[in-house]
Amino acid sequence: MKEIIVNDQSAKKYARKSFIAFIIFFVMIAFAFAGWKWLNNQPKDGAFGTGVQTPLRKVLNANEKIFSAGFDTGKRIKEYPVSMAASRVKVNGDVGMSEDFFDAAKWKLQVVKSTGDTLFISLDDIKKLPKTNVVFNFKCIEGWNQITSWSGVRFSDFVEHYGLSKETQMKYVGMKTPDEEYYVGIDMPSVLQHQTILCYEMNDKPLPMNQGYPLRLIIPVKYGVKHIKRIGTIFFDNNKPADYWAERGYDYYTGH
């Protein structure tokens, strides 16, 4: 008889505990749902309803501050022997690569100076500058990576040769294709990093058309999205230049 009473009490206790647990569970679900609804109702930052919700963008921006504050221009990305470089290099992304606005014979790199003047620089002139080779693990945010070999002039050598020291005191570099369909904005320390090159060769041969002929950016501290193919114009700005993939919800900084 005694035992039954004890059992009865513990059963009551158990029922009360599970009732409380159920209430807590329900309240948590309600909060999670409210939070999710709130986040979804936040304005998005991209054009045409694309992009990420502003609170998420704030987190991305905070990440960026942490990354760029700790960014050391002396930082080097691992390099590999050229024998490890792939001979068949993946082709990815063809935005801004149409031939309509591009005439290989007439192409010149346009560099907009802070005075507003524009330099028109031929591929031959770029090839006269010191040549650098970089073999590194090229990473795309879609999840693939490949060890590849690229040659060209260091961006830092290029700006020095063309006397762009005033321009490089600005915070960002913008680059766009001749048809202005693809464009990137990059923080200055990353562009001036020693492995960043204005590239005109892949595996010691001129860039293939679909890989950015005549000139592309190779910037090992960044993911593939920033390695703009077929550069038409380079400019400098203290505000973030427009960036094709950032407008579509990706992180602006995309360093690794």
Chain residues binding ligand MTE by CB under 6 A are 89-97, 140, 177, 182, 211, 224-225, 227-230
Supply the minimum distance, in Å, between the C-beta of residue 144 and Mo ion: 8
Token representation of residue 16: 């009360």
Q: Residue 135 belongs to what H/E stretch?
A: strand 132-139
DSSP letters for 185-254: EEEHHHHHSTT-EEEEEETTEEPPGGGTTT-EEE-TTB-GGGS-SS--EEEEESSPPP-TTTTTTS-SS-
Nearer to Mo ion, 140 or 242 (CB): 140
Q: Which is nearer to ligand MTE, 51 or 224 (CB)?
A: 224
> 123 or 140: whose CB is closer to Mo ion?
140
* CA–CA gap between residue 177 and residue 156 (Å, rounded): 21
- Regarding 209 and contact with Mo ion (CB under 5 A), the answer is no
224 binds Mo ion, rule: CB under 5 A: yes
Q: Residue 203 touches which of Mo ion, ligand MTE, none (CB < 5 to 8 A by kind)? A: none
| CB atoms closer than 10 angstroms to residue 64 | 16
Give Cβ neighbours of residue 6 (< 8 Å, ≥ 6 apart): none
Partner touching 90 among ligand MTE, Mo ion, none, CB below 5 to 8 Å by kind: ligand MTE
Residue span binding Mo ion (CB under 5 A) among the ranges 145-153, 154-162, 221-229, 242-250: 221-229
Residue 182 site contact among Mo ion, ligand MTE, none (CB < 5 to 8 Å, cut-off depends on kind):
ligand MTE
DSSP classification of residue 44:
B
| Contacted by 155, from ligand MTE, Mo ion, none: CB < 5 to 8 Å by type | none
Rounded-to-integer distance, Cα 66 and Cα 226, Å:
20
Nearer to ligand MTE, 236 or 244 (CB): 244
Tell whether residue 140 is a contact of Mo ion (CB under 5 A): yes
Tell me the two tokens of residue 216. Answer: 């592309």
Enumerate binding residues for Mo ion (CB under 5 A): 140, 224
